[in-house]
């Protein structure tokens, strides 16, 4: 069965420091991978996606992620964190069935930014 694991429930980073959020997936076919961000009381905003091609993908707000097939990982990175980045981050794999795609999410990582 398809699954996504985000091993870190909470992460605290100092403002200006670098960030890496971990994501591991389990999926038999070539994965479609996503990172979404959720602020309190809000829906999900897409940060970036990987479908194929270059394994390093750039997203919005200065985020990037690297797809590593050998490690079944899709870790999210940012070189310098801003206080406004504090939010919940979700990694997801897109599971296709008869032309339709559903998203399977991890349990999320809450990012706290300290001054």
Partner 1 sequence: DAGVTQSPTHLIKTRGQQVTLRCSPKSGHDTVSWYQQALGQGPQFIFQYYEEEERQRGNFPDRFSGHQFPNYSSELNVNALLLGDSALYLCASSSYSSNQPQHFGDGTRLSIL
Q: Which residues bind partner 1 (CB under 8 A)?
A: 4, 34, 36, 41-46, 49, 51, 90, 92, 94, 97-108
- In the complex with partner 1, the residue whose CB is nearer, 82 or 102, is 102
- In the complex with partner 1, the residue whose CB is nearer, 28 or 99, is 99
Q: Which residues pair with 24 in a beta bridge?
A: 5, 73
Is residue 48 within 8 Å of 59, Cβ to Cβ? Answer: yes
Is residue 74 within 8 Å of 10, Cβ to Cβ? Answer: no
Minimum separation from the CB atom of position 80 to partner 1 (A): 26
Minimum separation from the CB atom of position 46 to partner 1 (A): 5
Is residue 73 within 8 Å of 65, Cβ to Cβ? Answer: no
């Amino acid at each position: 069965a398809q699954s996504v694991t985000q091993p870190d429930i909470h992460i605290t980073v100092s403002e200006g420091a670098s960030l890496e959020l971990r994501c591991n997936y389990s999926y038999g076919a070539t994965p479609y991978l996503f990172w979404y961000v959720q602020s309190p009381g809000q829906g999900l905003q897409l940060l970036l996606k990987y479908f194929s091609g270059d394994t390093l993908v750039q997203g919005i707000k200065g985020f990037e992620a690297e797809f590593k097939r050998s490690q079944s990982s899709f870790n999210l990175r940012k070189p310098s964190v801003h206080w406004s980045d504090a939010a919940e981050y979700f990694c997801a794999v897109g599971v296709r069935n008869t032309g339709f795609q559903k998203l399977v999410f991890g349990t999320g990582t809450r990012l706290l930014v300290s001054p």
